[in-house]
Structure 1
Amino acid sequence: MTKDELKHWVASLPKVELHLHIEGSLEPDLMMALAEKHQLELPYANIEEVKNAYDFEDLQSFLDIYYFGASVLKDEDDFYQLMWSYLLTCKEDNVVHAEIMFDPQTHTERGIGFDVFMPGFKRAMQQAQQEWGQSCLLIMSFLRHLTEQSAIETLQASTPYLNDITAVGLDSGELGNPPEKFTKVFKMAKELGLKRVAHAGEEGPPDYVWGALKALDVHRIDHGVRSIEDPVLIAFLIDSQHPLTVCPLSNTKLKVFKHMQHHNVLQLLDLGLMATINADDPSYFGGYLNDNYFAIIDHLPIEKHQLEQLVKNSFNASFMSEEHKLKWLEKLSTY
């Protein structure tokens, strides 16, 4: 198959998104519209200037604008609009199931509580489910640059909404914030019956992946591309089949890899790890789920069977029920 045929084929497949930050799907036009609605001063005169600002040198320079962008989200309808916009792209990209991360502390630190953002998210999710059968789950992520005590308080504040939350996660700046810093709050989450994921091995070393596996007892590693530096870790991940939620466009935009042709996702896949493809923060990193697949088709010597494996892995790595997984995997085999 030609590259164009592969793109057309992968776009037509039902797919799953496992690593998506809802605040990172805030498009420049929505940011500008909400700033105007709330009469907020933005340091950008127009959408073009916002887009130009989305050129990052590293993770921290991205995080600075990411948190700044989130400041336009103030009322329930803002959070509804943010989620609804993302779910419309799921429909467009044939993403039949999405596990969506949100950062409560980004909002609670600004005095905006669970009673504002959760109803907004939930309304959009229910509407998408009713209108076209969209399946989605929420992952509540703790900001690792803040204290564990702040994460514990966030978990406690989420109590009335735990029926709507499937898992907890760990994101923000990796360096200097090892997974072990959050052992207690992850143990509390486990006791509440929540699944667990954590960012590790993107900016941070393979030791952080070990920390997420051992100290936090995670079901999945978000990113994990630097695991390749530790042969013992690779052997463990092949054996355990802990999924890696790899985000190609994000990794190249944040200079984890200089160019997409240097990305190691095919190497991880061919070694037998459960690698998956995801979009991370699509409005900041230049593309949603299909765009990430298209990027690896363009720049890596990927074949149809490898693409199919990546898509299958995403279903198998998801937190959807076994019944739903089987239903979709069966459908997938007919494409």
Structure 2
Amino acid sequence: MGMDVLAGRTAIVTGAGRGLGRAEALELARLGAAVVVNDYGQPGRDGSGEASATPAEEVAAEIVAAGGRAVAHHGDVADFKQAQELAGLALETFGSLDILVNNAGILRDRMVFSMTEEEWDAVIRVHLKGHFNMTRFAAAHWRDRAKADNGRPVFGRIVNTSSEAFLAGSAGQPNYAAAKGGIVGLTTSTAAALAKYGVRSNVICPRARTRMTDDVFGPAGPAVDRSPDPLAPEHVAPLVGYLASPAAERVNGQVFVVHGGMVALVDRPRVTAKFDTAKDAFTYGELDELLTGYFAGRDPAESFAATEVLGLKRSRPY
């Protein structure tokens, strides 16, 4: 199909029946990987509607038709047992599991004061628990492989999907923003835990025009000078291919923002101001003097400095 930097490797891509996941699965196959294409296949972006095997099967068939190797998996990654079965399918079909791309997700948008318990739980379940489930089974496989080989490092790559919503907040998406922030914490913890086994774990925050974002970005406009849509999912896929490759050996526990021909590396939080008491302990009055003065002139609507990340203001981030 193309380059062979991932020849002999097997990748699982969740939520790969459409949009970003589809583009990522096609890119990994182009780079030579065998791909397990997972998608639960529900038509609604909120996870509603009857599940269908068709989206995953169509993408797998597309990869095979182009000369690659792929198998479809129709299952719910947020279900612990089905996630285990998905990891097992990679091993049974292709004999290895080397790359995990966690992409599956849904939306249940609502302001925090109107959100139902079910809307909160559903989004946390699919995004955060789904990422954990797949990470857990891939990690156990890689640890067991390393132990079986006298502790020699194996090849393992995890690429998780977060969002700028975790950085900048998203007023109508408290469940989504919380899940995406949790995914970053899961990724950095996993990176620290699995590094000694040869596994590299990173996270991307993509902007792309998909059915998840059609009310934010709208439909693609007319092509100008035959230029591709800058928000096409295909702009995100190459970074996923790179992070899944041997070339990313020294990249671990990192957060990337990616879209439209741009990749930005997000630094870990740093202290921007430090206040010390002049006495043994702070008093209310001393804190009032220091902090009220420091935040004077700030707009309370801009609650966190990260709202300015990459020029992002109050538009809803993805």
TM-score range for the pair, normalised by the shorter chain length = 0.3 to 0.5
The normalised TM-score by structure 1 is 0.35
Q: Quick one: higher RCO (CA 8 Å, sep 6+), 1 or 2?
A: 1
Indicate the structure with greater helix content.
1
The normalised TM-score by structure 2 is 0.37
